[in-house]
Amino acid sequence: MTAPPVAIIMGSQSDWDTMRHAAETLDALEVPFDARIVSAHRTPERLYAFAKGAKDHGFRVIIAGAGGAAHLPGMAAALTPLPVLGVPMESHALRGVDSLHSIVQMPAGIPVGTLAIGKAGAINAALLAASILALSDAAIAGRLEAWRARQTAAVAEQPVSPA
């Protein structure tokens, strides 16, 4: 059995409420994925084993969500040649600005493609992962195009006042 092309990793169970939107978006595009809790801080050996083995395992893109001192995406990127897309969690203390800065301010040489804070970032990480895969997968490209066409068709031309 071939591995799914996308890995969704997150620093804590508490991130799943946000990262499930990435999972739901991949489901809608029929892009298989694995979702796992991996923490650079709390489970460093799990992170090391996961990231070092990710490419050989068959993953092609990693989506990494983390909050606060969000080292997970950068550490994963340091350990694998695969593209890593980082999703900053909306932390309670600093509303995700801490997560965003932790993920986006990588030193030159180890990139993390950083998305928006929270749900929008999780959805866009999934769409970006799909568009990376679509470069070499016509079926995913077709489903992505259809997804965007449905989104466009769903936008009303005029606003509706609440009842």
Ligand X SMILES: Nc1c(C(=O)O)ncn1[C@@H]1O[C@H](COP(=O)(O)O)[C@@H](O)[C@H]1O
Smallest gap from Cβ 18 to ligand X, in A, equals 9
- 91 labelled as ligand-binding? no
Cβ–Cβ < 8 Å for 99, 117? yes
15 touches ligand X by CB under 6 A: yes
72 touches ligand X by CB under 6 A: yes
86 touches ligand X by CB under 6 A: no
Smallest gap from Cβ 20 to ligand X, in A, equals 14
67 touches ligand X by CB under 6 A: yes
Q: Which stretch binds ligand X (CB under 6 A): 11-19, 27-35, 107-115, 117-125?
A: 11-19
Cβ–Cβ < 8 Å for 89, 67? yes
Q: What are phi and psi of 16, to 5 degrees?
A: -65, -35
69 touches ligand X by CB under 6 A: yes
Q: Which stretch binds ligand X (CB under 6 A): 52-60, 61-69, 130-138, 149-157?
A: 61-69
Smallest gap from Cβ 128 to ligand X, in A, equals 20
The 3-state secondary structure of the chain reads: CCCCCEEEEECCHHHHHHHHHHHHHHHHCCCCEEEEECCCCCCHHHHHHHHHHHHHHCCCEEEEEECCCCCHHHHHHHHCCCCEEEEECCCCCCCCHHHHHHHHCCCCCCCCEECCCCHHHHHHHHHHHHHHHHCCCHHHHHHHHHHHHHHHHCCCCCCCCCC
21 touches ligand X by CB under 6 A: no
Q: Site mask, ligand X, residues 41-60, x = CB under 6 A?
A: xx------------------
Q: Which is nearer to ligand X, 20 or 143 (CB)?
A: 20
Interacting residue ranges for ligand X, rule: CB under 6 A: 11-12, 14-15, 39-42, 66-72, 89
